[in-house]
Amino acid sequence: MKRILLIIIAAVVALSAAEAKPLKAWKEGTLDIHHISTGRGPAIFFILPDGTRMLVDAGDLGDPSRWTHKEIMPAVPNDSKRPAEWIARYIEHFSKPLNRDLYIDYAVISHFDSDHIGYCDHTAITVEGKPYKYTGITHLGNLIPIHTLIDRGYPNYDYPSKATMAKRNKLSFPNYRLWVEERDRLGHKNEQFKVGSKEQLVLKSKASHYPTFSIQNVAGNGLIWTGEGSATRAIADQYPNGRLHENSSSCVFRLEYGNFAYYMGGDISGGYSKKGLKKAPWNDMQTAVSKVIGTVDVALADHHGYADSMNENLLKALNTNVIGLPIWDLYHPHPKAMTRIVSQGVTEIFPAGITEYRRNEMKEKGLADGLRPDGHVVVRVTKEGKKYQIFVLNDRSLDYEIIYKSKVFTSRGNK
């Protein structure tokens, strides 16, 4: 009987494997947005309509045992490699249809927290002759060439002040700076994120073929776009001591392709306390962004869907039905943020990883109806941005097979 049961189980597994299908290869004219799941921090990989490749962030939390106050996700697909190695493998895999050398045209660093750039602890890799260690983006940049690195503070890194920056992320940020300085010495291109610009993140090879594609830089480093031309204004004067904390200094942008629009806001805050229980107006960057961002089809939840994120003003302005969640710990997403998200009519929520504890808590609180399976989340937008579909890929497998796909949506975010 036991032998028969094992045969049945093996047959079911074999049938499931046979039915599992890979994502169809990217084709020119298509826009792909990959929310990569590593369990160790966000990484968002874009293949733009002409094949231009862009990455936003590449985090590495370092030794998970240091996070004694919270449960974090297991490393996926496993911990045999560092997060940057898994990200590099993923990018290489999905870059094959481009039929060109492996490189990243733009790497945008939203801000300087370790889950976005890499923590420099004993798990970081020491390399002879290198003044910095390999972790997160500094590791990835040595695995895949990055043609242009863009962050909020280059070259002076003096917002809100040099003294403040010297105190922030004492291990992570100095290590990152040493890598940037090496890039300078080698003649690689490094730039500051130009708030208000629509000309910094552009298609590199066939821009004239896709005139409806653009990326509008909305906020970062204490500045925000006014909504007119490329004009900006300082936003920090409403905050204590006239300066933003690191999260709300994040780079924010809006991507458009035909009628399709996508929002990325890093870790900006929505003006709630850390527990999400009371208002903290001095900590509200999202309301300022809401006034200029416009409607989108897909939004990446700010600050991993934590308690202080996704306030009502931003959700109303975005008016989206689809939200992606970049997740690495037990508190992502937080019930307070999820309550706001669900109450604004969001019906499709795609976590790039989630702990079972959190998923079960969402079910208990009646907040899980729109919560889809977790894994690598891919937004695929058709030529001219008319329609889009979302696929969830197996983040425990190196075959990246599809485990869920949404219906086909009609784009309307840029109307």
DSSP for 105-122, please give it: EEEE-----HHHH---ST
Task: Note the pLDDT of residue 395.
Answer: 98
Task: Note the pLDDT of residue 168.
Answer: 80
Task: Note the pLDDT of residue 167.
Answer: 84
Task: Note the pLDDT of residue 161.
Answer: 87
Task: Note the pLDDT of residue 330.
Answer: 80
Q: Are 122 and 262 in contact (CB under 8 A)?
A: no
Q: Are 142 and 155 in contact (CB under 8 A)?
A: no
Report residue 270: phi and psi, to 5°. Answer: -105, 10
What is the C-alpha to C-alpha distance for residues 265 and 299, in angstroms, rounded to an integer?
9
DSSP string, 262-327: EEE-TT--EEE-TTSSSEEEEEE-HHHHHHHH---SEEEPGGGG-TT---HHHHHHH--SEEEEE-
Integer CA distances (angstroms), 221 to 232, 249, 252, 257, 344, in order? 11, 5, 10, 26, 29
Q: Label each residue of 151-167 as H, E or C.
A: ECCCCCCCCCCHHHHHH
What is the C-alpha to C-alpha distance for residues 281 and 365, in angstroms, rounded to an integer?
27
- pTM (two decimals): 0.93
Q: Are 35 and 44 in contact (CB under 8 A)?
A: yes
What is the C-alpha to C-alpha distance for residues 380 and 382, in angstroms, rounded to an integer?
7
| Tally of CB atoms within 10 A around 13 | 10
Task: Note the pLDDT of residue 207.
Answer: 96
The packing angle between helices 356-364 and 335-343, to 10°, is 50
Q: Which two tokens stand for residue 33?
A: 């947005």
What is the C-alpha to C-alpha distance for residues 151 and 149, in angstroms, rounded to an integer?
7
Spatial CA neighbour of 157 closest among 129, 128, 193: 193
pLDDT in tens, the chain (415 residues): 434 433 333 333 333 444 679 999 999 999 999 999 999 999 999 999 999 999 999 999 998 887 766 667 889 999 999 999 999 999 999 999 999 999 999 999 999 999 999 999 999 999 999 999 999 999 999 999 999 999 999 999 999 889 889 888 788 999 999 999 999 999 999 999 999 999 999 999 999 999 999 999 999 999 999 999 999 999 865 555 556 789 999 999 999 999 999 999 999 998 876 655 556 566 789 999 999 999 999 999 999 999 889 999 999 999 999 999 999 988 899 999 999 999 999 999 999 999 888 999 999 999 999 999 999 999 999 999 999 999 999 999 999 999 999 999 999 987 6
What is the C-alpha to C-alpha distance for residues 374 and 351, in angstroms, rounded to an integer?
5
Region of 329 on the Ramachandran plot (φ > 0 left; ψ -120 to 50 alpha; else beta): beta
Q: Which two tokens stand for residue 14?
A: 């074999």
| Cα four-point dihedral sign 302, 307, 312, 313 | negative
